[in-house]
Structure 1
Amino acid sequence: MTEIPKIALKGLRKRFGSKQVLQGVDLNICAGESMVVIGGSGTGKSVMMKCILGLIAPDAGRIEVDGVDVTHLKGRALAAHQARFGMLFQGGALFDSLSVWRNVSFALDQSRKGADLRAAAIDNLARVGLGAEVADLRPSELSGGMQKRVALARAIAPRPEIVFFDEPTTGLDPIMADVINDLIVELVRDLKITALTITHDMASVRKVADRVAMLYAGRIVWHGPREGIDATGNPYVYQFVNGRAEGPIKMAVRGG
């Protein structure tokens, strides 16, 4: 019997004005796997993610989670769907006016006692390698790497079934980026979540992915296991993975 994908995208299309961003995306993500979608800026990675979350509606196609069509949910059904997801935003998106522990506990049941919420936040901070001493600090008092870890703790705090990672290593030095990559691998394994990461950082791809898909011009042009990414024979993947200016992917460059 064929396993039902955790997430299935079927012919997903989205246009903004005259620009066709998604042009028929087909992609399956299995339960418990770490899928990484690569591609340059403006290729539709973030739009695809927002469609899955129900933040924007696709023009055509179908989105299924556990075999159930979630393409056009509204109201309470949409809220229940979104509650299944955790999200690590590209810039962290922490609330500057809240302490670290209140940021981490933001998505938890706020009817719980404050002491219980704080204890839960500290437990999640420990999972990302941060001690209780940072709990009462403001995000502005933390380094960029620590802010990213706090944002990761917030993403996993409600124990979501699925976590999305949007460019998780952007703005970090190579060592801290590797620390974040290791944390993602550990959390996916230990919490048994399904992960979708969008990135252009090949070090992240090689560390966190079980499978990789490349999005170009609104379509998946290749997908396969991480180990096969260097021998795909696909010219788009080859150019992207090796960072070559020459190839089928053309970048608009203005002269001085």
Structure 2
Amino acid sequence: MSAALSSGHPPAKIALRNVTKSFGHKHVLRGADLVIPKGQSTVIIGGSGTGKSVLLKCILGLIQPDAGAIEIDGVNILKEGAQSRRDIRQKIGMLFQGGALFDSLSVWENVAFGLMKGERMPAREAKPIAIKKLGQVGLGPDVADLFPAELSGGMQKRVGLARAIAREPEILFFDEPTTGLDPIMAGVINDLIRQCVADLGATAVSITHDMTSVRHIADQVAMIYEGKFIWSGPIDALETSGNPYVDQFIHGRTEGPIPLQVRSA
């Protein structure tokens, strides 16, 4: 199956059209094309340095692509004004790889950060919402007034997830959501991601190296290699993709078309 999903799938929530990005002489994105279906969980896989994180930052508006189009709900956000882009970003929730919690804020203040700063919601209204969202990720009210440093890595990841869903976004981004977690806690986070996406009816986009996580949270999978999407399709087709790059990557084989990245001393 090509990188653009077929017309038999749900309508596109996000569409990437020939997106390119270079940093000096380093070409990171070389014409990335991908359609991300509405209301489904799409996972982007690929090795280090293939452009996954840069692509995510382009969609979020943190990096400006050199060329191409990024459409959300049919609107090319690269051609919109600053206010329109801010409005579009209000639809998005993000779980960062390292949690990215504010050390000086309590847990509930972290969860409610977007509500209070983005929507100017008073603290007395925001705190009950934050506690409710913490409950949705399996954390009790007793955690609300603690600080991030008092939590385990798995609990911090749950707090990050609660913050991502606090504003009930239409789109959720997950950047390596299980990195640094033991297999049991990684399974918990994967379950929570599936549940939160289902509860919100959201469109989810994840980037990860963790194939266990891919198989658990993905409806659709897309592989990026050397700045282009070389395959995409439903999770059920991943093992039989017929693409040698995909096959090598998902099985972690040293032999195949993807060369080993070895640095000289």
Letter in 2 for 1:154: R
Contact 1:88 1:155 in 2 (8 A): yes
Aligned residue number for residue 48 of structure 1: 55
Query: Which residue does the alignment assign to 1:212?
Result: 221
Aligned partner of 1:77 in structure 2 is 84
Aligned to 2:251: 242
Whether the 8 Å contact between 2:178 and 2:186 is mirrored in structure 1 is yes
Q: 1:21 aligned to 22, 28, 34, which one? A: 28
Structure 2: runs of 5 or more not aligned: 1-6
Asked if residue 127 in structure 1 is aligned to residue 136 in structure 2, the reply is yes
Name the structure 2 match of 1:194: 203
Match for 1:126: what amino acid? G
**Residue segments in structure 1 that go unaligned for 5+ positions in a row:** none
Q: Of 28, 33, 42, which residue of structure 2 is paired with 1:35? A: 42
Contact 1:6 1:31 in 2 (8 A): yes
User: Which residue does 1:149 correspond to in 2?
Assistant: 158
> What amino acid does structure 2 have at the position aligned with 1:7?
I
Structure 1 contact 4–67 (Cα < 8 Å) conserved: no
User: What's the CA shift string for 1:99-139, capped at 9, x where partnerless?
Assistant: 00000000004543322211110000000000000000000
User: C-alpha separation between the residues in 2 aligned to 1:201 and 1:68?
Assistant: 32
Matched residues in 2 for 1:193 and 1:150: separation?
19
Q: CA deviation at 1:4?
A: 3.8
1:106 partnered with 2:85:
no
Distance 1:254 1:69, change over 3 A: closer
What residue is the counterpart of 2:95 in the other structure?
Answer: 88
> What count of residue pairs does the alignment treat as equivalent?
256
CA distance in 1 between counterparts of 2:123 and 2:149 reads 22
Q: Does 1:116 align with 2:91?
A: no
**3-state SS of paired residue (1:9):** strand
The root-mean-square deviation of aligned C-alpha atoms, in Å, is 1.4
TM-score, normalised by the number of residues in structure 2: 0.93
Q: How does 1:160-199 map to 2 (within 5 A)?
A: 160-199=169-208
Cα distance, 1:255 vs. partner? 5.4
The amino acid that maps onto 1:21 is V
Q: Which of 161, 168, 191 matches 1:159?
A: 168
Say if 1:121 and 1:157, in contact at 8 Å, map to a contact too: yes
SS in 2 for 1:247: coil
Q: Distance in 2 between matches of 1:20 and 1:207?
A: 32
Report sequence identity in percent.
59
**Residue in 1 that maps onto 2:65:** 58
Query: SS where residue 212 of structure 1 aligns?
Result: strand
Extract structure 1 runs of 4+ deviating beyond 4 A.
Answer: none
Aligned equivalents of 1:20 and 1:255: distance in 2? 22
Give 1:254 shift.
3.4
* TM-score, scaled relative to structure 1: 0.97
Task: Indicate the SS of the match to 2:22.
Answer: strand
The alignment partner of 1:6 has SS state of strand
- Does the 8 Å CA contact 1:4/1:66 hold for their aligned counterparts? no
What SS does the aligned partner of 2:12 have?
Answer: coil
Residue 85 of structure 1 contacts residue 160 of structure 1 at CA under 8 Å; is this kept in 2?
yes
Distance apart, 1:55 and its partner CA: 1.2
Q: Deviation digits for residues 152-177 of structure 1, max 9, x if unmatched?
A: 00000011110000000000000000
1:23–1:217 contact (8 Å) kept in structure 2: yes
Question: Hey, what's the Cα distance between the residues in 1 that align with 2:204 and 2:121?
Answer: 28
